[in-house]
Amino acid sequence: MHYVLHYGQITPYLPYLMGGMLISLALSILSFTGGMVIGLFFAMLRHEGGIPARLVRCYVAFFTNTPQLVQIYVIYFGLPDFGILFSPFSAVLIGMTLNAAGYLTEILRGGLISVHQPELDAAETLNMNRLQTLRHVILPHLFRVTMPALTNQYILMTLGTSMAAIFGVEELTGRAFNINSTTFRSIEIFTTVAGLYVVVTFIATILLALFGRWAFRARVPVV
């Protein structure tokens, strides 16, 4: 059996695939941003201790020890039994955000722990209030330390958007399935899609590294 590659047959579908990539990027950016907001809040609660810290610990344990796919299944197929319905895109976005928050909580908590006491003492000496200390001392140090881990987490989330195809979201992988069902050129389609993922994640890595260096003077390798 001889298989001849014909990439020309899928060239007309490239704009369609690029549109799917934009949906993938929307999922990853929105879920990462939402996860960052929740994760930062939860990291601070864990850092403070007490009952809220225990509740956050349970949240992190659940979302980091169960498959993200199962979590989205519960949201999309389970919650309708209670009258709560979400569109496929919304269900995937909520699931990815909640899952990301669990991992980002631990990443950001590590950054909070690494804040040096002399820095906090200096802020107190300068009569900074709690909000000023958070803005000018804690957050810059936190993001400077955690930027490499945050970049890696974002890349993993971008690649993880491919599971949205299971729920009918026409992101990059979902559109690849549609094209494959029409052309039956599986090798050409999925190698092209793999190449697009490589390009997008490579560009994202460079942009995040440059942003980390510029905004927080983080030591993040560009490549």
How far does Cα 47 stand from its chain's mean position? 23
Q: Which of 99, 209, 223 is nearest to 161 (CA)?
A: 99
The predicted structure's pLDDT at residue 195: 95
Q: What is the DSSP letter of 66?
A: S
| pLDDT tens series, the chain, 223 aa | 578 888 888 999 999 999 999 999 999 999 999 999 999 999 999 988 889 999 999 999 999 999 999 999 999 999 999 999 999 999 999 999 999 999 999 999 988 888 878 877 788 888 888 788 877 788 888 888 899 899 999 999 999 999 999 999 999 999 999 999 998 899 999 999 999 999 999 999 898 888 888 877 776 665 5
What are the boundaries of each domain within the chain? 7-216
pLDDT of the residue at 82 = 94
Q: Is domain 7-216 classified as CATH 1.10.3720.10?
A: yes
CA dihedral for 180, 183, 185, 189, sign (positive or negative): negative
- Number of neighbours of residue 15 by Cβ within 10 angstroms: 9
